[in-house]
Amino acid sequence: MNFENKLISGVFIKRYKRFFVDVLIQNKIVTAHCPNTGSMRGLLKEGNKVWLSKSNNPGRKLKYTLQIIEVEGNKFCINTHITNKVIEEALKNKLIEDLNKYELVRAEKKFGKNTRFDFFLADTENDKKAFLEVKSVSLSRKKGHAEFPDAVTERGKKHLENLILAIEQGFESYLIFLIQIEKCKSFNIASDIDPVYFEMLKKALKKNVKFLCYDCKFSTKGIKINKKINFLENE
């Protein structure tokens, strides 16, 4: 997935009201949109190098959007809004081996009355149908290792419950964690941050929900899926 324009570098100053960040660009402070309302634990330190995209849309109130933060030489892509675009591109280009059997890919598919999964997948030749949920990963508390979640996630727990329900109704269910951090070689669930989510994930595993984990390759021009990452089991 390519950015609209090549990213512009700056220096992070602060985030406020969840959706806004102030960034210093060439001795000028600009206010940019923050596309990640999560905690972004460990990333929001004044003075960190950041990269912003600039929109060509004349109707946009905020021209800039925060995309990447660098912490101790390691880059984190924090824009959760592009995660599904990266996965959709990978699905259509058959870059996720475990899901290559599904030739039909539809985004934002409704399930039940109040649930909408990120993707509906179908293998029409073998009459197989599946739902896929996607999670963006931007937490790394140890060099080379990524974790999810970075805060308690009631929404994430609900998604797991519905993936189990989908299996009970005859669908296959998948959840893919997309690591948007450079140089990560392993991944696990941050059970100390959200033990309830961890327990629900263990239940989902027993119910045959399939979990995948991939990292990304990104630059100032764009971001794309890279390779499968080891999913470590918590003790």
Q: Which residues are paired to 141 by β-bridges? A: none
Domain count, the chain: 2
Q: Which of 75, 93, 123 is the last residue of a domain?
A: 75
Q: Which domain holds residue 129?
A: 80-231
Considering the domain boundaries, does residue 227 fall inside one? Answer: yes
Tokens (6 digits) for 131: 């739902």
Considering the domain boundaries, does residue 136 fall inside one? Answer: yes
pLDDT of res. 27: 94
Q: CATH number for the domain including 71?
A: 2.40.50.580
Report how far residue 6's alpha carbon sits from residue 8's, in angstroms, rounded to the nearest whole number. 7
CB 70 within 8 A of CB 78: no
Same domain, 119 and 222: yes
CB 1 within 8 A of CB 216: no
Q: Which among 47, 38, 48 is positioned nearest to 71, based on CA atoms? A: 48
Same domain, 33 and 130: no
Same domain, 177 and 220: yes
pLDDT of res. 234: 60
Same domain, 186 and 121: yes
CB 149 within 8 A of CB 195: no
Report how far residue 39's alpha carbon sits from residue 18's, in angstroms, rounded to the nearest whole number. 9
Same domain, 22 and 133: no
Same domain, 149 and 226: yes
Task: List per-block mean pLDDT (blocks of 10 residues) for the chain, which spans 235 residues.
Answer: 93 95 97 93 95 94 96 93 95 96 94 91 95 96 94 96 97 98 95 97 97 94 94 71
Q: Which of 58, 75, 92 is the last residue of a domain?
A: 75
Considering the domain boundaries, does residue 71 fall inside one? Answer: yes
Same domain, 54 and 117: no
Considering the domain boundaries, does residue 93 fall inside one? Answer: yes
Q: CATH number for the domain including 169?
A: 3.40.1350.60
Q: Which of 75, 103, 126 is the last residue of a domain?
A: 75
CB 234 within 8 A of CB 188: yes
Same domain, 69 and 105: no
Same domain, 116 and 227: yes
